[in-house]
Amino acid sequence: MSIIAGNWKMVRSPAATRTFFGQLRVDDVPSRHELLIFPPAISLVAAAEARPARVRVGVQNIHWEEEGAFTGEVSAEMAREAGAEFALIGHSERRHLFGETDEQVALKTGAAIRHGLVPVVCVGETLEERRAGMVDDVILRQLDAVLPELALSARVLIAYEPVWAIGTGETATPSDASSAHRTVRRRLAEALGGEAAARVGVLYGGSVKPANARELLAAPDVDGVLVGGASVDPASYVAIALAAP
C-alpha cells in the first residue's frame, strides 16, 4: 500500500479544482493505495464536493489558535468543516519562506490533532545542511519538536522533503530517501514504541514525477510520496499513483 499525496501549493482556484476532479480517472489505481490532495484553502470546499470518494482532501497550513484576530489565517476547525481530513504542517516553504519555527510547527500539529485532522509533518534539510553532514541532526531536531504532540494522535504521517529537491528537478536517490526515513522511524520507535511507530507513514517529497515515482515508492521504508508540481495535472498525478508497487 502506498500513499500518493498531492500538494498543489498556490495553484488551482476553486473552478480549476472542479475541472481537475472532473478529469481525474482513478478507477485503475489499485484500491490498496491511498490518494490525498492538498488544494489551496480557498479551494477546499470545491475539492471536497468534486472529489471521487476514494480521494481525500487536506489543508496545506493552519493556525494553532481556535479563532481570533489573526488576519489571513485559517483554523483547524474551519479546514475540517470545509472538508479537510489531513493537514500539512511545517512544509519547507512555510519554514523557509514564511519563517515558521519548530515551536509553531508543534503548536500547529497539536491544533490539527485536537480537531481530528491527521497531521502530515514535513521535515528535511537544506543543501548547506546536507553538505555539512547534518541531515540526521536536522531531521531529528524537527521531529523532536513535534513528538509530544504526535503521541496523542491516532494517525500521523511524516513527509521527508529535502529542501534542495523541492521544485528543482533534483531528486534524492532512493537510498538517500530510505536512509532519512530510517532515521525518522528509529526516533519514532524510541519515542512512541515500536508498534505505534510502525503505524506512522513516512512519505518522500521533492521533484517526484511519473518517471521516478516507481523507484522511490519501491525503496525500503518509503510508504508514499508527497508530490508538488506533478500533482496539479490529473494525468500525471494518476500516472504516479499507477507507478506505485
Binding site for ligand PGA (CB under 6 A): 7, 161, 166-167, 205-208, 226-230
Nearer to ligand PGA, 84 or 192 (CB): 84
Q: Active-site residue 91, yes or no?
A: yes
- CB neighbour burial string for 196-209, b if at least 16 within 10 angstroms, e if fewer: bbeebbbbbbbbbb
Q: Active-site residue among 33, 63, 91, 115? A: 91
Closest CB 22 distance from ligand PGA, rounded Å: 23
When CB distances to ligand PGA are compared, the closest residue is: 228
What is d(CA 228, CA 143) in angstroms, rounded to the nearest whole number?
22
Is the separation of the CB atoms in 28 and 234 below 8 Å?
A: no
What is d(CA 157, CA 165) in angstroms, rounded to the nearest whole number?
20
Q: Active-site residue 161, yes or no?
A: yes
Q: What angle do CA 212, 169, 108 make, to 5 degrees?
A: 90
Nearer to ligand PGA, 50 or 227 (CB): 227
What is d(CA 84, CA 38) in angstroms, rounded to the nearest whole number?
8
Return the closest-CA partner of residue 160 out of 203, 131, 118, 201: 203
Identify the helix (H) or strand (E) that includes residue 123: strand 118-123
Closest CB 7 distance from ligand PGA, rounded Å: 4
Q: Active-site residue among 100, 125, 149, 161? A: 161
Nearer to ligand PGA, 165 or 192 (CB): 165
Nearer to ligand PGA, 8 or 192 (CB): 8
Active site residues: 91, 161
